[in-house]
Amino acid sequence: MGFLDGVKDELSFLGGFKLTFEHLTRPRVTRQYPEEKKPKQPRQHGRHVLNRYEDGMEKCIGCELCAGVCPADCIYVRGLDNPPDHPVSPGERYGYVYEINYLRCIHCDLCVEACPTEAITESKLFEFSFTNRADAIYTKAELLVDDAGKPQKLPWEDWRDADELHTSGWMRATSPSGSAAYEGEVQWSAELGYGVRPPEGGQSGRRDDAATGTKALRDVLETHLLDEDIPLDHRGMRGRIWRGKLSAERHKKQLEAARQRHKEAKATRAADKTTTRGADKTSEDAVDEASTAPAGPEVDS
Ligand code: SF4
Ligand code: SF4
């Protein structure tokens, strides 16, 4: 092994930093959380809300479908007949007791899908914690939206920009039954404070990004970053040229490394062949010598 090979072997641990070095020149993706938060996607599954109609009536009819479909068994609902004098919901019954245990909820949104009246939907809030088990069980009084149709902001919850908006994003993205034929068709009732919400953006042209806060996939997939995170020189056409150059350099290096490896392998094979031939020749010579050597005197046994 030559001197250079020895040095290469000694420094081979630097290969472990390859990924780190590669990322040194890339735009930074980290944020100063929790002071600075990344905007959440419209379909983010967070803390639930119980919605009301525009006239203030509760949407929940106490049918218990959400509780039945919940895979974590964390919803407890009890329905009661509406009092004829002051009905709580437009239906025959209303949700008298409604509880969600957040120690169990996995935010799968099956309850949202199952609900026939869009009563239960989810906000984007996921930053909340408790100091005891009882606090983890949200009651109807906590889940029900306020008189302006906004989720109630409880003291132990960390609500930030627009977390309380788009509370029905998931329902509006999938309704009804996820059929593509109905994409963009409004099939849901109005909500207190918001009226009839626009459909969440999809793959068709029928989208209202300003109203729904939706970003088209093609806008985020190229870099996986929000625009504000990308330096000006890395955006648009300049960004494409920059990424193209980086990629060309990377490929050039990979090619050079592959060539070098191939060369070394060839040299090793050639050296092995020479050694084998040399060894074969030596053994052949030894055999020849043995066969031509004069026989010694026979020894009588
Ligand atoms: S989101 Fe899923 S786990 Fe949570 S309450 Fe709804 S159905 Fe249950
Ligand atoms: S939230 Fe919906 S599914 Fe659950 S009990 Fe109320 S109406 Fe039924």
Domain end point (choices 214, 235, 258):
214
Domain span at 42: 37-214
Q: Within this chain, do residues 46 and 131 fall inside the same structural domain, yes or no?
A: yes
Whether residue 65 has its Cβ less than 6 Å from ligand 1: no
In whole angstroms, give the CA distance from residue 90 to residue 94: 8
Whether the predicted model's global pTM rises above the 0.85 cut: no
pLDDT (tens digit per residue) in 79-127 = 999 999 999 999 899 999 999 999 999 999 999 989 999 999 998 888 8
- Determine what percent of the chain is predicted with pLDDT higher than 70: 76
Buried b (16+ CB within 10 A) or exposed e, 237-267: eebeeeeeeeeeeeeeeeeeeeeeeeeeeee
24 domain residue, yes or no: no
CA distances (Å), origin 9, targets 19, 95, 207: 19, 71, 58
Q: Within this chain, do residues 245 and 111 fall inside the same structural domain, yes or no?
A: no
Q: Within this chain, do residues 154 and 198 fall inside the same structural domain, yes or no?
A: yes
Ligand 2 centroid distance, CA of 190 (Å): 16
Domain end point (choices 214, 240, 271):
214
What pLDDT, on a 0 to 100 scale, did the predictor assign at position 48? 95
301 domain residue, yes or no: no
Q: Within this chain, do residues 228 and 167 fall inside the same structural domain, yes or no?
A: no
In whole angstroms, give the CA distance from residue 245 to residue 6: 33
In whole angstroms, give the CA distance from residue 259 to residue 279: 30
Total tally of structural domains belonging to the chain: 2
Residue ID of nearest Cα to ligand 1 atom 6: 111
Q: Is residue 18 predicted with pLDDT exceeding 70?
A: yes
Residue 100 backbone dihedrals phi, psi, to 5 degrees: -125, 130
Q: Within this chain, do residues 68 and 167 fall inside the same structural domain, yes or no?
A: yes
CATH number of the domain enclosing 147: 3.30.70.3270
Q: Is residue 50 predicted with pLDDT exceeding 90?
A: yes
Alpha-helical runs (H) found in 157-235? 169-174, 209-212, 217-221
Q: Within this chain, do residues 120 and 58 fall inside the same structural domain, yes or no?
A: yes
81 domain residue, yes or no: yes
Whether residue 114 has its Cβ less than 6 Å from ligand 2: yes
Whether residue 60 has its Cβ less than 6 Å from ligand 1: no
Q: Within this chain, do residues 244 and 276 fall inside the same structural domain, yes or no?
A: yes
21 domain residue, yes or no: no
Q: Within this chain, do residues 179 and 67 fall inside the same structural domain, yes or no?
A: yes
Ligand 1 centroid distance, CA of 112 (Å): 8
Contact between 168 and 118 (Cβ < 8 Å): yes
Q: Within this chain, do residues 146 and 183 fall inside the same structural domain, yes or no?
A: yes
Single-letter code of the amino acid located at 27: P
Ligand 2 centroid distance, CA of 49 (Å): 12
Give the residue, out of 109, 124, 138, with the most ligand 1 atoms within 8 A of its beta carbon, to mutate for a pocket test: 109
* Confidence band, pLDDT 50/70/90 cuts, at residue 219: low
Query: Strands (DSSP E) along 82-203, which ranges?
Result: 93-101, 120-122, 137-138
14 domain residue, yes or no: no
Q: Within this chain, do residues 187 and 237 fall inside the same structural domain, yes or no?
A: no
76 domain residue, yes or no: yes
227 domain residue, yes or no: yes
In whole angstroms, give the CA distance from residue 107 to residue 212: 21
Comparing 73 with 2, the larger pLDDT belongs to 73
Contact between 48 and 100 (Cβ < 8 Å): yes
What pLDDT, on a 0 to 100 scale, did the predictor assign at position 69? 96
Element (H, E) at 48: strand 48-50
Strand 48-50 relative to strand 137-138: parallel, antiparallel, unpaired? unpaired
For the segment 121-149, the average pLDDT, to the nearest whole number, is 91
Whether residue 125 has its Cβ less than 6 Å from ligand 1: no
Domain end point (choices 168, 187, 214):
214
Q: Within this chain, do residues 52 and 190 fall inside the same structural domain, yes or no?
A: yes
Q: Within this chain, do residues 254 and 138 fall inside the same structural domain, yes or no?
A: no
pLDDT (tens digit per residue) in 171-198 = 666 655 556 667 667 778 889 988 888 7
Whether residue 110 has its Cβ less than 6 Å from ligand 1: yes
Contact between 72 and 105 (Cβ < 8 Å): yes
Ligand 2 centroid distance, CA of 115 (Å): 5
SS3 171: helix
In whole angstroms, give the CA distance from residue 277 to residue 272: 9
Ligand 1 centroid distance, CA of 50 (Å): 13
129 domain residue, yes or no: yes
Ligand 2 centroid distance, CA of 93 (Å): 11
Residue ID of nearest Cα to ligand 2 atom 4: 66
Question: If you average pLDDT over each of 29-43, 84-98, 195-209, 269-283, which comes out highest?
Answer: 84-98
